[in-house]
Every structure is written in C-alpha cells, then in structure tokens.
Structure 1
Amino acid sequence: MSSGAEPETGAAATETALCLADFERAAAAVLSAEVRDFVAGGSGAETTLDANRAALDRVFLVPRVLTDASRVSTESRLLGRTAAMPVAVAPVAYHRLVHPDGELAAARAAKAAGVPFTASTLSSVPIEEITAVGGAVWFQLYWLRDTAQTMRLVRRAEDAGCEAVVLTVDVPWMGRRLRDVRNRFALPGHVTAANLTSGPSSAHRRAADVSAVAVHTGRTFSSALTWSHVADLRERTGLPLVLKGVLAPEDAVRAAESGADAVVVSNHGGRQLDGAVPSIEALPDVVRAVRGSCEVLLDSGIRSGTDVLRALALGASGVLVGRPLIWGLAAAGEAGAARVLELLADELRDALGLSGCDGVAAAARLRTAAGPAGPPRTV
C-alpha cells in the first residue's frame, strides 16, 4: 500500500524505486500539470487508455513447475538482432519537455540496457545526434504531407545508422485529447520538432480551445496514407520495415504481404481512437492471422515485467514501452530512464522463472486464463 509520503525525485527516486509506478509518482511531482497531462493523457473520454490496463490485468498466467529455474535468460531477438530482453523503447515525441537531455539521455539508457531505442519523427533532438550515442536505434516515421520530405527523413535515418523504419499507420491526424485542449497546450520555445524544423512552429502558438501540438501535426501529417505508400516505402528502403498501429488481423496480414518485417499491435496508448480495442485483446487474433510471416510486437499499457510475459505468452515476440521511460527521464534524467529498464529486466527475469520458463522462447508455451480485473492496486 502507499505510505502517503511525498514521492522522491532525482537520485533518490532511482535508489528507492521498486516498480515503474514509483517513477510515475516521482515524475508527477516535478512536471507541470499541463506537461504531465500531455504525457499521461488519452483521447476522448480515455476509455481505451483505461481499458489497456484493465485488459492486461485480466490476463492470468498458468505457471509450470519443476522446470529448473537455476538459469533464466531474458535475451531475445528483435528484427533479427539480439536484444538483452524482448523490449524496445517506444517512440515518444518531444523528450525535452520533461528533461533538458531529452532523447539523448533516453537513448543512452536504452544502449546500456541492451535494447533498441525508437526515435520519433517528432523527437526534440535530431536523429543524427541520437544515433551518435551508439546504441541500436529504430526510426519512427510519420508520413508527411510533403512526400519528398518524408523520403528525405528516411534517407537521413539510413545515413545516420538507424536499424529499422517504424511507420506509424494510425495517425491520419492526432486524436482529440481533451486534457491538451483544456490546457491550451503548446510547446515551450526550447522544445522543437528537431527533425523537421530548427525554429518555432504552429506547435508553439497557444490559442483558445485547441491543442497547438494537434494543430501542428494536422498541418504536417498526411491524412491520405494508404497501402500504396507502404509499398513505395518498402521499395525505397532496405531497412527492416515495421507498421505500428495495427489492430485488425486483416491489416496485419496485408502488412506482411506488403513486405513488412513486423507489425506493432497498438492503439497508440489510448491516444487515437477512443473506444478502440485494447491492444492485448487484439494480439492473439493478429498472431494467428499472420502465421509467422512477420514478427508481432505489442505496445499500449505495458507497465511491468509480468506484462511483458503476458504479451509473450499470447504470441508477441516483444513489446514497446513508452510512458514509463518518460517518467524515469522526468524524475532523474538518464539514471531514471536506466533504472526503469533495469527494473523491467529484473521483473521479467523474475516472472519467467516463477512461471517455469528458462527463457523467452519458453514463454510462448505458457497457457493463459481470463480472469476478472479488480481495481488498480498501489504497492
């Protein structure tokens, strides 16, 4: 249970945090209300945002026993490369909203943890500086209204040494995020979309009854993205191609047929269509539909090593984790982000061993059972 004490921040947060939720509380203590809402909020009534967690909590695992848990490994393969665990850092825009070191600190933490870092098109640090950190970097791509500029971004990512292109396919425009509208949210002057501009944009102009960030993306992103664009992208890059934001099995099959190396089963963390199916509930049908023709990853709501194991047991080859990294970064910079990934690795190793799995491959053989979801617990 919660002690009721004030959450610790900075170095103290990294030393005392025992779970990812501790960093959420620590970040809440240092972020402004409107930045906290920008990171934590969802679209509409936040039905899908809440449902992601509830759905994960309804997935119960059936552990095996007498399997020799003396040596448990979290090592896995993601997009053909070895990773220390089946986790990648999800793309999140504008890290410098929460810490001056922004994406550089988060990328260094991912490198130290041995997992890929996914840099957003809307990162607040240029892609070249992020890859210079030296870890495995994937580049998340939003299709822009200017197709030539879109392809220049892909070439920049290739030239910078990115190891994959992750095309987000569920954002014809930004979902209506009421917290941001009520806050009239706009970027502060020191935070920019560094891959797109070096100066202020419409994302910085606060106005009544709108989110300036939503206005900016509406003017920048193409709402005409179709499968023909996917085919064009597949032809133009030799990097592994991932489609992020797939929930329908039919779309997953078509993604594989279009040359995608992986799909991310995702509802954008509850930030796009409010009322969309929780990602974990969509996962089994997608896995069955693609029949191994591409990798299947999952994001939206992952908050523990047990959640990672749930996804693996339901057929995912790995997960993407977003908000917890931002909480760690806000609370304690690079050390906080690193501690988030360290905790996740420790929890996954613990969950694997206690479920009778000596490694990630064994997790796919676990049975699951549907159970009731109780109220959220604070520990």
Structure 2
Amino acid sequence: MSRSDQQSNGGETQLSRRKLLEFLSASPMLAPGAVAFVAGFLGGSSSALAQSYDVLRQAPVLDGDLIANPAQALNVFDFELVAKKVLPPAHYGYLASGVDGDETLKANRDGFEKIAIRARRLIDVRKIDTTVKIFGETWGSPIALAPISSQGAFHPEAEGAVARACKAKNHQMILSTVGSTSIEDVIKERGSPVWYMLYPTDDWAVTEALVKRAEKAGAPAIVLTVDRQGGRNTETLFRERRGDTRTCTDCHTPGFKNEVSRKPMFDDLDVSKVTNLYGTGMTWDYVKRLRGVVKGKLVLKGIVTQEDAKKALDYGVDALIVSNHGGRAEESLQSTIGVLPEIVGAVNGKVPVLIDGGFRRGTDVIKALALGATAVCVGRPYAWGLAAFGQPGVEMVLTIMQREFETIMRQVGATKIAEINGTSVSRV
C-alpha cells in the first residue's frame, strides 16, 4: 500500500471513529464516562471529550470500603478507615480524640463550610507556583506537617518515615518534643532542617537543654506550645481504650521518667525534678526568658485571640501558629479558621501566621491562605497515612492534598500564592 493510500485510509478511519463517538455522545443510554472509555479502546480522541472522566482511574477496592494500597485513595479520609482497622484501639483513640464531647474537633471542620470560594475565569493557569518563603527558607508548598507525639504508636518507622515522605514531596515538618525519633535522625532522613515543637516541662534546665540540642541539630525554629496549660478530658481515647485487650502498663507506667523513657529527645537528661511536661504555670515572663535562650526563630503555637497575638509581638515572637491542638486543647467550640482573621489583623503582616486544625482538603488550604495565613499545618491525615501504609501512605496524603490545592488554585485564577487573597473567598 502506498503512503498516500495509507494516509487516505487513516483519514477515513479517524472520520469513522469521530462519527461513532458523536453518535455515542448523543445517545441517552451512555454516560459521558462510558463514551470516554470507548474512545480509549478505539485509540482516538475527541476534543469534546478531552475532559471526560476516566471510569478506570481507580482500581476496584477489594476489602469492603478499605483501600488496599495508597494509590487507591480518592481522598485523605480513605486512610483513616485503614488506620482504624490496623491500629490497637487505644492508639487509634489517642489519634482520634478531641476533648469532652469532641465538639471543638468538629467545629474545626465545620468552620470551613462557612467560607465559600470565588472562582475566576479566562486566566491562563497552566503554570502555577506553590512555593512560599518563611524565615528565608523556600518551601515547595504552603502545606506543612504539624507535630504529632509518639508516632511510633502508629508505625514502627515513626517520624523517620514521615521525614522521608517530606523529602520526597518537598514539604516542611515540625517534630514534637515527645516524638519517637530524635531530631538528629529526622533531619538526616529529611535531608534538611525541620522545626522543633517544644513542650517546656517545669524544669528550666531540661527546657534549655532541649532547645540547645534542637538548635545544634539545625532546627531553624523553636515552636513553643502554649495551649496545653489547663489539662484536658480526652473521652474518645478513654472510651476506645476500654476495648483494648493489651496490657497497656507494659509500655506505659506512672511517673514522668517512665513516660519519656522511650522518647529520644530526653536521652541523657536528668528529669528527676520534672513533674509536668506542659509547664503548668507558664506566663509571658516564660516567653521572655525563652526568647533570651533561643538563638533562631521563636514561634508560639496555640494563639487564638487577637489580644494574645498582639502581646506575642511585644515579646519578640517571630511567628504564630493559630491552633487549638487539633480540637484537643479545650472545648471552646471555636474553630481555628474562624479566629484566623482576627489574628492576621492583629499582627498586621509583621510576622508569619500559620494555622492548623481540621485541614483535610486542598480547598481548606486555599481558604486559610485567602484569609491571610502564610502556611497551613496538617496533622491527623498524615498520621492516618503513616498508620495505614507507612511512608508511601504519608506520601500519598501529601500528593492528594497538594493536587487538590493546585486544582482549586487554578479555579480561583491564582498562578502563585501571592495571588490568593481576600477576593478569593466570601462568607456563606
């Protein structure tokens, strides 16, 4: 067959395919997704079908509603179902619990429903830039990982797996004082410095030693948690623990020394005088004293009022994290996204304002940025991914949230973070 004959037959074939697809598209018996499916088998495409959904995008789930691997996840909530199945009841309860009736935990999520997104059209958003710069460091995404304690309770590789996931997906993370992995090992796994969240204890010598160790390891920011002063009633944890048949005292025994015996940040420290991890009695004078010790950046985590935000500036704080400990600090019924505007207004651009509490979707992230947040810290979702599948689970959680965030960025017509502002959202 000559080249001209081949071209002629090829053109006729394409025309026949097009006519068939046009006929199928007009048929009330076939859904658009099915048409796209047929188009794929025919080896052709139609511009009219270019954005049709791929009905084969997700493989069948084999274990009821549970995904069998990270690639099957449609959203971050899919990982929670697996985490609940694989974790001991007490460990899952610790991760899931808020305080009292979990109403503030719920309020964090409900707060996003009070904010609508304003979509813009006819803007070229084929190329977008999601980088943000904080303290001179460029992050690949405004989505960072919040500190979560005792991650060895969720997966044997603990924070090491999380750090490797952050390295692979280019996200920043904050390590908890009572993490299952040392800051030196976490920085090694991530390949670059991480922030360090400080539980102050009630022994200044221990507090100072923790700060010096973190900064020596390379932590550019010390994040003092200030929202755990009044104690808490974690009913969901207590309820789940009733169904745990293990002997919990095999790992958990009374006394602070025993409590931190498996927490590497306390290795070689004399904790005999410590009675409380959270520094009950801490005041603004404590912040002043800590400011005199911290050589790098000092961040306060747990600020939820404009009064405290303004006062933090007076004490030389370099950034704030709007947080109610993921609904685990107090049963205030106040969402973090709800108080964010007053914090942003109080600091008036003088320091970065980060936020955590209930972030599960890319749309949640863009709402916070539109209201003035510099970055967003995600907690439970990556712990679900860690519990379910280890490092690959954490990576997929980050992939999903970043993908959702980039999608909604394009819908609001933003090609870079600076273009996300108050005009991107409205109150419902």
TM-score range normalised by the length of the shorter chain = 0.7 to 0.9
Secondary structure of 1:45's aligned partner = coil
Secondary structure of 2:141's aligned partner = coil
Q: Which amino acid aligns with 2:251?
A: G
Which residue in 2 is equivalent to 1:6?
Answer: 64
Which residue in 2 is equivalent to 1:154?
Answer: 211
Counting aligned pairs with the same residue, the percent is 36
Using the TM superposition, give the Cα deviation of residue 348 of structure 1 relative to its aligned residue in structure 2, in angstroms: 0.8
Structure 1 residue corresponding to 2:237, chosen from 160, 163, 180: 180
Q: 1 CA distance for matches of 2:135 and 2:144?
A: 11
Q: Which amino acid aligns with 1:193?
A: K
The 8 Å contact of residues 244 and 266 in structure 1, kept in 2 or not, is answered as: yes
Which residue in 2 is equivalent to 1:223?
Answer: 280
The 8 Å contact of residues 13 and 26 in structure 1, kept in 2 or not, is answered as: no
Relative to structure 2, which stretch is displaced further, 149-158 or 108-117?
108-117
Q: 1 CA distance for matches of 2:183 and 2:230?
A: 23
Which residue in 1 is equivalent to 2:24?
Answer: none
Q: Which amino acid aligns with 1:149?
A: V
Using the TM superposition, give the Cα deviation of residue 325 of structure 1 relative to its aligned residue in structure 2, in angstroms: 0.8
Matched, 1:192 2:262: yes
Structure 2 residue corresponding to 1:239, chosen from 273, 289, 296: 296
Q: After TM superposition, which residue ranges in structure 1, 4 or more long, deviate above 6 angstroms?
A: none
The 8 Å contact of residues 13 and 23 in structure 1, kept in 2 or not, is answered as: no
Which residue in 1 is equivalent to 2:195?
Answer: 138
Using the TM superposition, give the Cα deviation of residue 5 of structure 1 relative to its aligned residue in structure 2, in angstroms: 5.4
Using the TM superposition, give the Cα deviation of residue 136 of structure 1 relative to its aligned residue in structure 2, in angstroms: 3.2
Which residue in 2 is equivalent to 1:214?
Answer: none
Give deviations 1:135-167, integer Å, cap 9, x for gaps.
Answer: 331000011111110010000001111121111
Using the TM superposition, give the Cα deviation of residue 220 of structure 1 relative to its aligned residue in structure 2, in angstroms: 3.0
Q: 2 CA distance for matches of 1:5 and 1:60?
A: 36
Matched, 1:17 2:73: yes
Using the TM superposition, give the Cα deviation of residue 117 of structure 1 relative to its aligned residue in structure 2, in angstroms: 1.3
Which residue in 2 is equivalent to 1:81?
Answer: 137
Cα gap change, 1:54/1:365 in structure 2, threshold over 3 Å: closer, same or farther?
A: closer
Secondary structure of 1:219's aligned partner = coil
Give deviations 1:93-117, integer Å, cap 9, x for gaps.
Answer: 0000010000100111112221211
Which residue in 2 is equivalent to 1:96?
Answer: 152
Q: 2 CA distance for matches of 1:3 and 1:332?
A: 16
Using the TM superposition, give the Cα deviation of residue 132 of structure 1 relative to its aligned residue in structure 2, in angstroms: 1.8
Using the TM superposition, give the Cα deviation of residue 343 of structure 1 relative to its aligned residue in structure 2, in angstroms: 1.1
The 8 Å contact of residues 174 and 218 in structure 1, kept in 2 or not, is answered as: no
Cα gap change, 1:114/1:179 in structure 2, threshold over 3 Å: closer, same or farther?
A: same
Q: 2 CA distance for matches of 1:89 and 1:20?
A: 14
Give deviations 1:325-359, integer Å, cap 9, x for gaps.
Answer: 10000011011111111111111110100111111
The 8 Å contact of residues 64 and 355 in structure 1, kept in 2 or not, is answered as: yes
Q: Which amino acid aligns with 2:178?
A: L
* Matches for 1:310-321 after TM superposition, within 5 Å: 310-321=367-378
Q: 1 CA distance for matches of 2:235 and 2:422?
A: 41
Using the TM superposition, give the Cα deviation of residue 261 of structure 1 relative to its aligned residue in structure 2, in angstroms: 1.3
Which residue in 1 is equivalent to 2:100?
Answer: 44
Using the TM superposition, give the Cα deviation of residue 296 of structure 1 relative to its aligned residue in structure 2, in angstroms: 0.6
Structure 2 residue corresponding to 1:304, chosen from 343, 361, 383: 361
Q: 2 CA distance for matches of 1:147 and 1:75?
A: 37
Q: State the superposition RMSD in angstroms.
A: 2.3
Q: 2 CA distance for matches of 1:298 and 1:49?
A: 14
Cα gap change, 1:363/1:347 in structure 2, threshold over 3 Å: closer, same or farther?
A: same
Secondary structure of 1:347's aligned partner = helix
Secondary structure of 2:264's aligned partner = coil
Instruction: Count residues with an aligned counterpart.
Output: 352
Q: 1 CA distance for matches of 2:287 and 2:71?
A: 45
Matched, 1:29 2:85: yes
Cα gap change, 1:4/1:76 in structure 2, threshold over 3 Å: closer, same or farther?
A: same
Which residue in 2 is equivalent to 1:275?
Answer: 332
Q: Which amino acid aligns with 2:232?
A: G
Matched, 1:163 2:220: yes
Structure 2 residue corresponding to 1:350, chosen from 381, 404, 407: 407
Which residue in 1 is equivalent to 2:305?
Answer: 248
Secondary structure of 2:111's aligned partner = helix
Cα gap change, 1:318/1:153 in structure 2, threshold over 3 Å: closer, same or farther?
A: same
* Matches for 1:55-70 after TM superposition, within 5 Å: 55-70=111-126
Cα gap change, 1:128/1:252 in structure 2, threshold over 3 Å: closer, same or farther?
A: same
Structure number with larger C-alpha Rg = 2
Q: 2 CA distance for matches of 1:42 and 1:230?
A: 27
Q: 2 CA distance for matches of 1:359 and 1:224?
A: 43
Could you tell me the TM-score, scaled by structure 1's length?
0.87
Q: 1 CA distance for matches of 2:161 and 2:62?
A: 30
Q: 2 CA distance for matches of 1:188 and 1:358?
A: 53
Using the TM superposition, give the Cα deviation of residue 221 of structure 1 relative to its aligned residue in structure 2, in angstroms: 2.6
Q: Which amino acid aligns with 2:298?
A: L
Cα gap change, 1:356/1:93 in structure 2, threshold over 3 Å: closer, same or farther?
A: same
Secondary structure of 1:351's aligned partner = helix
Matched, 1:295 2:365: no
